[in-house]
Amino acid sequence: MNLRAPTRRTVGLVLLAGAWPAGSVSAQAKSLKNQLVGTWSLVSFEANDSAGHKVPSIEGSDVKGRLFLTDSGLLSVQIIADYPKLASNDRLKTTPAEDKAVAHGVLSFFGTYTVNEGSKQIVFHIERSSFPNQATDKGFARRVTLTGDELRLDSPGQTVAGRQNFVIVWKRIH
């Protein structure tokens, strides 16, 4: 009778131990798309001009941003600088200087995305943007480098508004 109780316990432990490595292996085999799903916080957003000099992509101080990628392929991006409050306290009644501060200090867009696992690229298909020229049918491809909780999106060769070679770095927050 003493032999049966340890035998059941041993069998249970062996079965549990056998299941453990399978979970670890499947976590390592996640697709790139599955690794990208989540909420990301902006670390940096840089671009170069045609001469190779770094130029701002957002004007203003204390630039912050969020990138949201869902498992169903939806995306939302907000990158916003800190700028003075509107004098009128009404976003529909602004001065030309306030309009400029908002236009230069905000980049917000949403749409869908696809991932090319082979070339390690993400393509943003932008439906609406605070920069309307971004909303095109062709999409914007970015090379993906994922290191732990850091996501680097690189756009070599792309030129938008005189800026090229965009590099946006995000840190996973969820």
- Domain residue ranges of the chain, discontinuous segments joined by +: 1-30, 31-172
Q: Is 99 helix (H, G, I), strand (E, B) or coil?
A: helix
Does the domain spanning 31-172 belong to CATH 2.40.128.360? yes
Choose the weakest-confidence range: 51-55, 60-64, 128-132. 51-55
For residue 47, pLDDT over 50 is answered with: yes
115-152 pLDDT tens trace: 999 999 999 999 999 988 888 778 889 999 999 999 99
Residue whose token pair is 């909303």:
135
CB 107 within 8 A of CB 58: yes
**Token pair recorded at residue 52:** 């190779």
How far is C-alpha 88 from the chain's CA centre?
A: 34
Q: pLDDT of 73-102, one tens digit each?
A: 999 999 999 988 999 999 999 999 999 999
How far is the C-alpha of 118 from the C-alpha of 97, rounded, in Å?
46
Beta strands in the chain (DSSP E): 38-48, 54-56, 61-69, 74-82, 106-116, 121-129, 140-147, 150-160, 163-172
3-state secondary structure of 19: helix
Both tokens of residue 15? Answer: 């079965």
Region of poorest pLDDT, from 54-63, 65-74, 81-90, 153-162: 153-162
* pLDDT in the model for residue 155: 84
What average pLDDT is seen over the chain? 84
DSSP calls for 54-77: EEESS-SEEEEEEEEE-TTSEEEE
Two structure tokens written together for 140:
């914007």
In this prediction, residue 23 carries a pLDDT of 44
Supply the pTM of this predicted model: 0.78
pLDDT recorded at residue 46: 87
The pLDDT-based confidence of 19 (bands split at 50, 70, 90) is very low
